[in-house]
Chain A
């Protein structure tokens, strides 16, 4: 198994928002599974990490939550993206790409001989 990584503060919110954009309304378990799988199990989310992050997004008005029947007839709380959430996702994704490009550009060159 690959090395476990800690979820960086702030990046979890982005992952959740993207997950909800891709998969549509989803419960906490689904979000956790998706993030773990996407990260090839380098990330694991326990409740104490996941649910406060979901609640924070809800408080910020980026997601809404409602109880619904799940596909195999369980009751579960489904989170879905709001319009504000979509805008926020777009903005943060753009910023992340820019930052990642910048860092990658920085780290790319090998040691130069003067």
Chain B
């Protein structure tokens, strides 16, 4: 009760305290008066009496302060006072405040935005139940396209014998068409077995997921929608479960909607049970060891570790390779990696994101260094103020707190702006991350991210408050007696300032070098020859055939439709030529088989050669601008029933026939997999050689490609290549309309000009380069401000010395050189450290570079020169000021 009453009194005191200050003063003064009177009564003279009374009081102000502490909520009250004071102090130095808030806001904003991406893409636990128990298995071989060759059903069955793999979820990435009122769309499909979702640890948000009862040929076809597709395509319709949708292969019933979850390696729109693809249930698929079409994610058995799984998988795999030698050609180096699922989801994004996080952290470090430097200088100027405050009874802790509150105010302001910057920038970063990671949709600016920003600002504020000079507890007297006359700030502090400047320069050099390398990468990439001699080409992909049902009758029908499209689009004004093929150029065909050449046998240990399967009509190469290097193009006589002919690309010709004339030679598809396709393994005569095209991306090594006559083979995906005399982009709408008119149910995709395709490939690199470059330039600017500031401060604190030097005969040129030398030393130290740092940083980001060496001398020299030029420029201003010092004025000021 007593304590409650006291607490209430104090809270009341917090609000009413200021009104009682007069009362308190009166009370203390009356005490003083009474004591003085008593002292006089004892015989002291009035002056001594009052002095004695004052001494005994321990200080009126200190006494009043102690009572105030007892009266209200002292910490709250004094913090309120501190905040009020801090606001006033900051308002009085608007330049300082603006610079600090702006630089910190940029640093904090960049870090916050990038942290939100890093967290979502790399750090956050997976949404899967016990997601850290999931591992991804990847089979790879040497050569282009060999990074992930998937698994065949027999291989997966074999891996089930590894005890540490508690369950294996398999899914075959596939595609299909979904019919809707507004035409058909091609969708990415995952064909799954009944246990898939159980193993993955995923739950439905609506309806149910597939079960073992959905396996087998007798089960009705069912579909599970991914959350994203459900929202995008069906607007989140909660009545979707139980409805029937029309797919390329027939009607399918929607049984449920999956919780949001990332998939790897590709996006998936819907999951279907195996019955929807007869091919996947055929004996060929189930028994063909080389028919690798399935992704594998396993759940570790209870107690098993990733390391155990690796060992066991390696053992099983070695046994498989020994038993089925024909399925694992030794030259290709078949291998299987076991990777935690969370890691594999982030693998494409990891390097880029850590690079950006590192760059942003660097920017924050140097902006914080700058702020610390500014604070130091301001702190020196404020030493006098601090001394006065100390003399009036403020303790070290109180002064420290005052500084901390001031700095917190600064950094919180900066955090406010920084969060605004992050909110604006996170969209851009999300679009960047979406190209690298399936988890980009999880990016959020949530409490954790804001907590991160707040944490950053508190750390920066603490650092800033503690570099300011305050005496040790108990050392006040000497501090006060020296009266704060020493305005130089002391040697130790100057060293700290200089160290910070050197660090700023070094970090700027590292960032600029990274920016330079990435910019050169981007430029190199955009100058890569696509292999197409013109950019006025529009491509579009129109799939008429259901890939699961490739039958000759359907193919013949489709070819007629493609020819009608070719004719009608060809008649559009501005169109010069239309080519047809199985695929469009500059896109991976994703159909590749082993190849053999007549009379050539593989050397021991030589990797099995592969080639991309593509078909082309006679006009295809001319329409696409792919140069014919040798021989002839296809003609209208290359059709069903005539001699089998092929055109190969340069890479393939070099691979099989180095130094020979490939024309007239014969090659054939080979391998077990052909049995599963409508493509024959008979010998085909090479009639032409064409240039390489960058089908695997601008930065990928060219792949071997074999073109077959469009009219001799199945059309597969179906691609149109439309050559325009100018502005191919303008044709897109008209061409799409024609295609829709001829084949309303066919999905139309990739309606892009060659220029757009190229841009898509360069864009993420450009964004990367732009981000790091802007960080680099920001760093450069901050470092320039830093070096100029420190020198200016040095000049103003040395103006006496300079005045003496000049009055003793030093001319202004000499003084100027002296200051320049002072800055030059810092600059050189920073440059040396920076170049060394950049050397190591460049090695780390090697994987992001293309067409430029990590230690590209042009970049390094360029960056060093740029930094040196800016640095000297920044030194020049304070040096000039020093040279203009008038000795008479400075001497008189003493």
Q: Which residue numbers of A lie inside 8 Å of B, CB to CB?
A: 27-29, 32-33, 44, 46-49, 51-52, 55-56, 58-62, 70, 72, 74-77, 84, 88
In the bound complex, what is the Cα–Cα distance between A75 and B23 (angstroms)? 12
Smallest CB separation, A9 vs chain B (Å) = 13
- Is B583 in contact with chain A by the CB < 8 A criterion? no
- Asked whether, in the complex, the Cβ of B65 is within 8 Å of the Cβ of A60, the reply is no
- Beyond A46-B59, A60-B3, list 7 extra A-B contacts (CB 8 Å): A27-B34, A44-B56, A46-B56, A46-B63, A52-B69, A75-B26, A76-B31
Contact (Cβ within 8 A) B6 A59: yes
Among the interface residues B9, B37, B59, B67, which one has the most CB atoms of the partner chain A within 10 A?
B67
Q: Which B residues are in CB contact (< 8 Å) with A47?
A: 28, 31, 57-60, 62-64, 66-67
- Choose among A49, A56, A76, A88 the residue that contacts B6 (Cβ–Cβ < 8 A): A56
Do A55 and B27 touch (CB < 8 A)?
no
**Contact, CB under 8 Å: B6 / A74:** no
> Could you give, for residues 28-40 of chain B, a 1 whenever the CB lies within 8 Å of some chain A CB and a 0 otherwise?
1011011101100
Given contacts A46-B57, A47-B57, A48-B65, contact A74 B27 (CB under 8 A): no
B325 lies within 8 A of chain A by Cβ: no
A51 with B63, Cβ < 8 A, contacts A27-B30, A29-B30, A46-B56 known: yes
Chain B residues within 8 Å of A72, by CB: 37
Q: Is the CB of B59 within 8 A of A28?
A: no
Q: Which residues of B, 58-94, contact A by the 8 Å Cβ criterion?
A: 58-60, 62-67, 69-71
Nearest neighbor of B64 in chain A, beta-carbon distance: A47
Contact of B5 among A33, A46, A60, A74 (CB under 8 A): A60
Known: A29-B35, A59-B6, A60-B5. A75 touches B30 (CB 8 A): yes
Closest chain-A Cβ to B110's Cβ sits at a distance in Å of: 49
B28: min CB distance to chain A, Å: 6
Interface of A is mostly: helix
* Alpha-carbon separation in the docked complex, A55 to B26 (Å): 15
Closest to A48 in B: B66
Cα distance A49–B65 in the bound complex, in angstroms: 11
Asked whether, in the complex, the Cβ of B70 is within 8 Å of the Cβ of A56, the reply is yes
B5 touches A59 (CB 8 A): yes
Q: Tell me if A51 and B33 are in contact (CB < 8 A).
A: no
In the complex, are the beta carbons of B34 and A74 less than 8 A apart?
yes
Contacts of A55 in B (CB 8 A): 67, 70-71
User: Which residues in B have some Cβ–Cβ distance to A below 8 Å?
Assistant: 2-3, 5-6, 9-10, 13, 23-24, 26-28, 30-31, 33-35, 37-38, 56-60, 62-67, 69-71
Closest to B33 in A: A74
User: Of the candidates B9, B13, B28, B35, which one forms a contact with A51 in the assembled complex, judged by CB atoms under 8 Å apart?
Assistant: B28
Pick 17 A–B contacts, CB within 8 A, sort by A.
A44-B56, A46-B59, A47-B58, A47-B64, A48-B59, A48-B66, A48-B67, A49-B66, A51-B27, A52-B67, A56-B6, A60-B5, A61-B2, A61-B5, A70-B34, A72-B37, A77-B30
A57 CB to closest chain B CB (Å) equals 9
- Residue of chain A at shortest CB distance from B63: A47
- Given A27-B30, A56-B6, A77-B30, also A46-B69 (CB < 8 A): no
Q: Which residues of A contact B10 (CB under 8 A)?
A: 59
Q: Which residue of B lies closest to A57 (CB)?
A: B6
Shortest beta-carbon distance from B310 to chain A in Å: 65
B63 x A59 contact (CB < 8 A): no
Q: Do residues A28 and B31 form an inter-chain contact, with CB atoms below 8 A? A: yes
Q: Which of A48, A76, A84 contacts B34 (CB 8 A)?
A: A76
* Distance of A28 Cα from B842 Cα, bound (Å): 74
- B62 shortest CB reach to chain A, Å: 5
CB neighbours (8 Å) of A76 from chain B are 27, 30-31, 34
In the A-B complex, the 6 residue pairs with the closest CB atoms: A46-B58, A47-B63, A52-B70, A48-B66, A59-B9, A29-B34
Chain B residue numbers with a CB within 8 Å of A56 are 6, 70
CB–CB B66/A52 < 8 A = yes
Shortest beta-carbon distance, B77 to chain A, in Å? Answer: 14
* Neighbouring B residues of A88 by C-beta, 8 Å: 2
CB atoms of A48 and B62 under 8 A apart? yes
Task: Decide yes or no: A51 and B66 within 8 Å by CB, A59-B10, A74-B30, A76-B30 being known contacts.
Answer: yes
CB distance from B332 to the nearest CB of A (A): 83
* B65: A residues at CB distance < 8 A: 48
Chain A hits for B33, CB < 8 A: 74
List the B side residues contacting A27 at CB < 8 Å. 30-31, 34
How far is B59's CA from A60's CA once the two chains are assembled, in angstroms?
26
A32: chain B residues at CB < 8 Å are 31
- The residue of chain A having its C-beta at the shortest distance from the C-beta of B71 within the complex is A55
Inside 8 A of B13's CB, which chain A residues have their CB? 59
Interface centre among A44, A55, A62 (most CB of B within 10 A): A55
Q: Which residues of B contact A29 (CB under 8 A)?
A: 30-31, 34-35
Residues of A with C-beta under 8 A to B28: 47, 51
Chain A residues near B71 (CB-CB < 8 A): 55
With CB as the reference atom, state the residue of chain B lying closest to A59.
B9
Bound complex: CA A52 to CA B28 (Å): 12
Nearest CB in chain A: distance from B486 CB, A: 31
Give the complex CA separation of A46 and B64 in angstroms.
11
Question: Across the two chains, which residue of chain A brings its CB closest to B62?
Answer: A48
Q: How far is the CA of A74 from the CA of B57 in the complex (A)?
A: 19
- Determine which residue in A51, A75, A88 has the highest number of CB atoms from chain B within 10 A of its CB, and name it: A51
- A51 CB, min distance to chain B CBs, angstroms: 5
